[in-house]
Amino acid sequence: MANTPPDKPERFGPRTRLVHAGRNPSDQHGFVNTPIYRGSTVLYPTTDDFLHRRARFPYGTKGSPTIEALETAWTQLTGAAGTVLAPSGLAAVTVALMSCLKAGDHLLVTDSVYRPTRQFCDSVLQAFGIETTYYDPLIGGDIARLFRPNTAAVFTESPGSQTFEVQDVPAIAEAAHRHGAVVLMDNTWATPLFFKAHEHGVDLSIEAGTKYVSGGSDLLLGLVSANERCWPALRRTFDAFAMCAGPEDVFLCLRGLRTMPLRLQEAERQALELARWLETRPEVKRVLHPAFESCPGHAVWKRDFKGSSGLFSIILEPVPPQAVAAFIDGLELFGIGASWGGFESLITPFDCTGYRTAAPWNPGGPGVRLQIGLEDLADLRADLEAGFARLRREAARAA
């Protein structure tokens, strides 16, 4: 077997590409993985080399073999022109937005967006003189009527954070490109394995490597991949910000990348089985999972996506807040935590009614988001059954 990466990786399947992408054992004395390179200062052999920055990595903020390995692997996986790594998923969102916006621009953002992204738009971008308008996530091609002469970009997230509306990204991208606007997408839920963002018209695709790329709930990392149109501006902005990911986190992400297809497949299987069981529960009013026909945008998911991950939401039948707390607080196997994509199951309550503006949120009951991990499903069901019993008792007590 050769110690160098195989030629023309696009001829292989995604699992094969992920095993081999971004690593070159011949550069590492035959060792399989690129090691962790830590450092800031890079030494040059001569004054002339220094003045002309003749170095593979001219300074620590410009990259390292570890960073280059993950950038290369992710670029191959996404089919992009290039990738940059940021120290968190939100940092990836911010550098992507700043690469295509300037003072006086107008930005369209889905009303179902990850709330920290919304807060960045309403605070930092507003202070920089960039106006944000939120749109109904199910608007599709009708988004064309929202464009203004100064609309520079459209931000999509599919499915939506917490509420799981699936957007018609190709229709939105077509309208945006007719206007000359850049299309961004937070593709963390599906990853490039289940949704090829660039193939569906996205210019800048954002991923929180903290989630499924890592798989271990033990790092913070963001990735932004760009097509040919947006790559130069993204790289310039990234270099100007010097927004560097930590070498240990990059190394761990590289390690997680190799097994991501297998973990996603199992997450999908586990989540679908548990979601179908929850759909039968009398305490559950509705399941918000893109693979379910009742989920907004299901037909688009079925058309454009290759699978689903382990994250979905449920809407409970109306009960007082203390009943929801009793349900969640006593769970043994579901941690109460805001992240997801790891090996452990998580659960969080949510309520979007206070900040949704374009598509008001009126679900008819309390919202709960679940991340399904790798535990035995029988144990997860038993844990939830005990939680539902606590919910019923607390609801009866409050009645």
pLDDT digits (tens, 9 = 90+) for 257-299: 999 999 999 999 999 999 999 999 999 999 999 999 999 999 9
Q: What is the average pLDDT score of the chain?
A: 94
Reported confidence tier of residue 2, pLDDT bands at 50, 70, 90: low
- Distance CA(25)–CA(259), nearest Å, equals 19
Better-predicted residue by pLDDT, 243 or 31: 243
Nearest alpha carbon to residue 271 among 209, 210, 194, 327: 194
pLDDT for res 42: 82
CATH superfamily, region 260-398: Aspartate Aminotransferase, domain 1 (3.90.1150.10)
What would the mean pLDDT of 136-160 be, rounded to a whole number?
98
Closest CA to 238 of 108, 99, 128: 99
- Reduced to 3 states (helix: H, G, I; strand: E, B; else coil), residue 4 is coil
Whether residue 73 contacts residue 258, with contact meaning beta carbons closer than 8 Å, is answered with no
**Domain boundaries for CATH 3.40.640.10 within the chain:** 13-256
Q: Is the dihedral angle over the CA atoms 184, 186, 192, 195 positive or is it negative?
A: negative
Residue ranges of the chain that CATH labels 3.90.1150.10: 260-398
The pLDDT score that the predictor gives to residue 20 is: 67
* Triad 184, 258, 164: Cα angle to 5°: 40
The percentage of the chain sitting over the pLDDT mark of 70, rounded to a whole number, equals 96
For 84, phi then psi, to 5°, come to -120, 155
Q: What pLDDT is recorded for position 4?
A: 60
C-alpha 187/C-alpha 173 separation (Å) is: 14
Omega of the bond prior to 363 within 30 degrees of 0, cis? no
Written as six digits, the tokens of 13 are 């399947």
Nearest to 114 by CA among 321, 275, 340, 266: 340
User: Cα(first)–Cα(last) distance of the chain, in Å?
Assistant: 70
Residue-wise pLDDT for 343-375, tens only, equals 999 999 999 999 999 988 999 999 999 999 999
Q: 286 with 363: CB under 8 angstroms? A: yes
Per-residue pLDDT of 214-262, as tens digits, reads 999 999 999 999 999 999 999 999 999 999 999 999 999 999 999 999 9
When pLDDT is averaged across residues 53-62 and rounded to a whole number, the result is: 87
pLDDT band at 32 (very low <50, low <70, confident <90, very high): confident
Give the percent of the chain with pLDDT over 90: 83
Third-level CATH fold of 13-256? Aspartate Aminotransferase; domain 2 (3.40.640)
Those residues whose C-beta lies under 8 Å from the C-beta of residue 287, and which sit 6 or more positions away, are 275, 278, 279, 294, 295, 312, 313, 314, 315
Instruction: Identify the DSSP state of 166.
Output: P
